[in-house]
């Protein structure tokens, strides 16, 4: 795992986490729901948004193999069938108003296995989400070619005139009924708005009138791909021809390795409404020239032209030195649509060289930096709290609603907390309004440690504030907790006095600090005090209420101090 993590980092990717389906489900929905899920180890890898060629296992493995110099980058070939034998896709002028562009290709004699098939579908889904902008720019359809006969027609018709059996459904529906059918579908309902208010819907037919698909919503069931499919017809329709070409290139370059003749693609002739024709996929290779000194200067290294060419070749950009070594000729393969400018080539050279291998140098500009006063104060206080025998904890700034409200005996509306609109897990629903729950959870996780436990944290809390431009405000709080067989109120009180002593705030009412008896839902009645300083209330200290202790799964009494340190900056 560590070696793979290292390899990903060198290749410019990040191995986000090593997990399993079971772990993911139990994190998001709880242990109960996770029963029976698989324990197979999953790698979650963060791929940069520009590298569409790494979005499936095939491309990622190929990229890493080339990077490790185990294989050479394959050469993708298009096979143009003899006159009159190839497939044709005819675009009618009705499509101009709604989805004017279409491109297509055929993968011949491909062999699918369960894993390859899943990867094939998964890649389409990932492309739909990013480069296709949730199918608004491009929609991909893949069909079993042996179930249909060309030439194919891409046209647009009134919803009532389109009738077919959608993928995985048991009966035929008209296009309007299909829209109603998928209005409640968690996956497809997000795409309906793309065409539902248009007078005509786009649709692709074969020569016998069989519907292949109604892009961007759903494919027909008739042309469904299975593990036994040998010939795949791929069509991409869209509003952006460049993106459609890129998507088609990515799909065919990734999966042509499973064809009988690996890395070959059969072309399809697309006929435009004006009678012009074009052969797709383009699978265009192009060459760019870059000066070695340009790369060296931008990255801050001094490599020879031949070693730079070697670095670029490892990044799937086949390169060689030309003209007495003052140029590097780089061949851009059809998988690398992200190479637009010379700086993209420079970036790949830097990744292959290794960011960690670039020498650090002092910048030429001379500036004097200063620490933010609030951070400086927090740093100084940290040292003094540690010297007082307390251990620093760092907890998450997000927590669940229960942590800051129910468990502390408060109502969530009274906390003024900032909520996350669509929380990924139950643990991260709101921004914390107090540091106490974080420290209590830290103690709960460290119950095996010898007593007493003395912890502190100096961090920001967040509360709503309509007067600010962002609608919320941060406050830097100091929170300390003492957990032992007896509450130890005097220890926490002593810590408050020590903090005030180092802040040079005297214990009096005029210009110092005082404490007054108070009540707090999280505190034991009669054992809570409010701290006043600089003419304002800055926080509370006291013994934690037994109910709160039980709710955080603790068994011993504890006392706590939490104050806002901003007035002392």
Contact between 122 and 224 (Cβ < 8 Å): no
315 Cβ neighbours under 8 A, 6+ residues apart: 66, 67, 348, 349, 351, 352
CATH of the domain at 51: 3.30.56.10
Residue 363 belongs to some domain of the structure = no
Residue 29 has pLDDT above 80, yes or no: no
Average pLDDT for residues 82-106, to the nearest whole number? 90
Q: Is 521 exposed, middle or buried (0-12, 13-18, 19+ CB in 10 A)?
A: middle
The answer to whether residues 129 and 174 belong to one domain is yes
The answer to whether residues 136 and 247 belong to one domain is yes
CA–CA dist 266, 441 (Å, integer): 60
Note the pLDDT of residue 27: 76
Note the pLDDT of residue 323: 82
| Per-residue pLDDT reduced to its tens digit, 532-553 | 998 889 999 999 999 999 999 9
Note the pLDDT of residue 361: 85
The answer to whether residues 50 and 156 belong to one domain is no
The answer to whether residues 235 and 384 belong to one domain is no
pLDDT category, 31, cuts 50, 70, 90?
confident
The answer to whether residues 494 and 400 belong to one domain is yes
Note the pLDDT of residue 532: 92
Q: Which two tokens stand for residue 469?
A: 């431009």
| Per-residue pLDDT reduced to its tens digit, 116-173 | 999 999 999 999 998 999 999 999 999 999 999 879 999 999 989 989 998 888 899 9
Residue 368 belongs to some domain of the structure = no
pLDDT category, 326, cuts 50, 70, 90?
confident
C-beta atoms surrounding 246 within 10 Å: 24
Residue 186 has pLDDT above 90, yes or no: no
pLDDT category, 563, cuts 50, 70, 90?
very high
Q: Which two tokens stand for residue 569?
A: 């900056």
The answer to whether residues 426 and 513 belong to one domain is yes
The answer to whether residues 380 and 470 belong to one domain is yes
The answer to whether residues 309 and 413 belong to one domain is no
Residue 359 belongs to some domain of the structure = no
Which helix or strand (DSSP H or E) is residue 559 part of? strand 558-564
The answer to whether residues 5 and 151 belong to one domain is no
Average pLDDT for residues 449-454, to the nearest whole number? 90
Measure Cα distances from 179 to 66, 137, 154 in Å.
45, 20, 20
Beta strand extents in 323-452 (DSSP E only): 327-332, 391-392, 398-399, 430-431
Residue 361 belongs to some domain of the structure = no
Note the pLDDT of residue 510: 81
CATH of the domain at 518: 3.30.930.10
Could you tell me which residue, 40 or 229, shows the higher pLDDT? Answer: 229
CATH of the domain at 269: 3.50.40.10
Share of the chain above pLDDT 70, in %: 100
Residue 102 belongs to some domain of the structure = yes
The answer to whether residues 438 and 487 belong to one domain is yes
| Per-residue pLDDT reduced to its tens digit, 372-389 | 999 999 999 999 999 999
Average pLDDT, the chain: 90
pLDDT category, 37, cuts 50, 70, 90?
confident
Residue 503 belongs to some domain of the structure = yes
**Of 280, 299, 334, which residue is a domain's last?**
280
The answer to whether residues 488 and 543 belong to one domain is yes
Residue 81 has pLDDT above 80, yes or no: yes
Note the pLDDT of residue 360: 87
C-beta atoms surrounding 180 within 10 Å: 11
Q: Which two tokens stand for residue 337?
A: 């649509």
Closest CA to 483 of 448, 440, 431, 535: 440
As for how many domains the chain has, the answer is 4
φ/ψ (deg, to 5) at 330: -110, 130
The answer to whether residues 411 and 391 belong to one domain is yes
| Per-residue pLDDT reduced to its tens digit, 262-286 | 999 999 999 999 989 999 999 999 9
CA–CA dist 475, 129 (Å, integer): 38
**Of 246, 280, 314, which residue is a domain's last?**
280
Average pLDDT for residues 439-447, to the nearest whole number? 92
Q: Which two tokens stand for residue 343?
A: 């700086």
CA–CA dist 321, 308 (Å, integer): 9
Residue 495 has pLDDT above 90, yes or no: yes
CA–CA dist 7, 198 (Å, integer): 49
**Of 47, 68, 89, which residue is a domain's last?**
68
Residue 364 belongs to some domain of the structure = no
Residue 295 has pLDDT above 90, yes or no: yes
**pTM for the structure as a whole:** 0.68
Residue 325 belongs to some domain of the structure = yes
Q: Is 36 left (phi over 0), alpha (psi -120 to 50) or beta?
A: left
Residue 76 has pLDDT above 90, yes or no: yes
CA–CA dist 60, 335 (Å, integer): 12
Closest CA to 270 of 229, 236, 223, 224: 236
Q: Structural domain of residue 475, as residue ranges?
A: 373-568
């Amino acid at each position: 795992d560590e070696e793979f993590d290292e390899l990903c980092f060198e290749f410019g990717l990040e191995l986000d986490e090593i997990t399993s389906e079971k772990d993911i489900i139990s994190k998001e929905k709880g242990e109960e729901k996770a029963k029976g899920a698989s324990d197979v180890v999953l790698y979650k890898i963060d791929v940069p948004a520009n590298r569409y060629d790494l979005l499936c296992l095939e491309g990622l493995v190929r990229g890493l193999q080339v990077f490790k110099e185990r294989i050479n980058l394959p050469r993708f070939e298009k096979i143009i069938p003899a006159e009159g034998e190839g497939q044709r896709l005819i675009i009618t002028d009705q499509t101009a108003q709604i989805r004017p562009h279409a491109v297509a290709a055929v993968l011949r004699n491909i062999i699918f296995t369960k894993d390859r098939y899943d990867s094939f579908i998964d890649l389409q889904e990932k492309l739909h989400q990013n480069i296709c902008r949730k199918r608004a720019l491009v929609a991909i359809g893949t069909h079993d070619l042996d179930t249909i006969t060309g030439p194919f027609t891409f046209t647009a018709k009134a919803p009532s005139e389109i009738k077919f059996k959608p993928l995985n459904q048991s009966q035929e529906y008209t296009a309007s009924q299909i829209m109603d059918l998928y209005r409640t579908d968690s996956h497809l309902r997000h795409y309906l708005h793309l065409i539902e208010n248009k007078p005509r819907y786009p649709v692709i037919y074969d020569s016998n009138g069989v519907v292949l698909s109604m892009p961007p919503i759903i494919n027909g069931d008739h042309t469904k791909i299975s593990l036994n499919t040998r010939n795949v017809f791929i069509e991409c329709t869209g509003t952006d021809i460049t993106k459609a070409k890129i998507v088609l290139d990515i799909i065919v370059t990734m999966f042509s390795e499973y064809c009988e003749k690996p890395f070959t693609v059969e072309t399809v002739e697309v006929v435009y409404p004006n009678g012009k024709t074009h052969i797709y996929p383009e699978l265009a290779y192009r060459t760019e020239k870059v000066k070695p000194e340009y790369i060296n200067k931008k990255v801050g290294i001094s490599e020879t032209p031949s070693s730079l060419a070697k670095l670029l070749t490892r990044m799937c950009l086949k390169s060689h030195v030309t003209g007495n070594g003052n140029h590097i000729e780089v061949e851009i393969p059809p998988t690398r649509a992200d190479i637009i400018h010379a700086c993209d080539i420079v970036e790949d050279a830097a990744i292959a060289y290794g960011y960690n291998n670039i020498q650090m140098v002092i910048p030429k500009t001379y500036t004097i930096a200063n620490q933010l006063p609030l951070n400086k104060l927090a740093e100084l206080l940290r040292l003094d709290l540690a010297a007082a025998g307390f251990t620093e904890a760092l907890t998450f700034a997000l927590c669940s609603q229960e942590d800051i409200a129910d468990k502390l005996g408060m109502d969530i509306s009274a906390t003024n907390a900032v909520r996350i609109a669509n929380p990924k897990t139950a643990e991260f629903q709101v921004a914390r309004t107090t540091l106490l729950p974080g420290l209590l959870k830290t103690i709960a996780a460290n119950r095996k440690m010898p007593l007493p436990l003395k912890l502190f944290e100096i961090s920001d809390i967040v509360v709503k504030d309509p007067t600010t431009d962002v609608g919320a405000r941060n406050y830097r709080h100091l929170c300390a907790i003492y957990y032992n067989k007896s509450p130890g109120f005097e220890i926490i009180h002593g810590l408050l006095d020590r903090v005030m002593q180092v802040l040079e705030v005297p214990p009096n009412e005029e210009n110092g600090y005082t404490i007054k008896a108070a009540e707090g839902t999280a505190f034991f009645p009669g054992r809570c005090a409010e701290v006043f300083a600089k003419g304002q209330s800055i926080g509370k200290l006291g013994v934690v209420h037994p109910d709160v202790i039980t709710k955080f799964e603790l068994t011993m009494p504890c006392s706590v101090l939490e104050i806002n340190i901003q007035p002392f900056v």
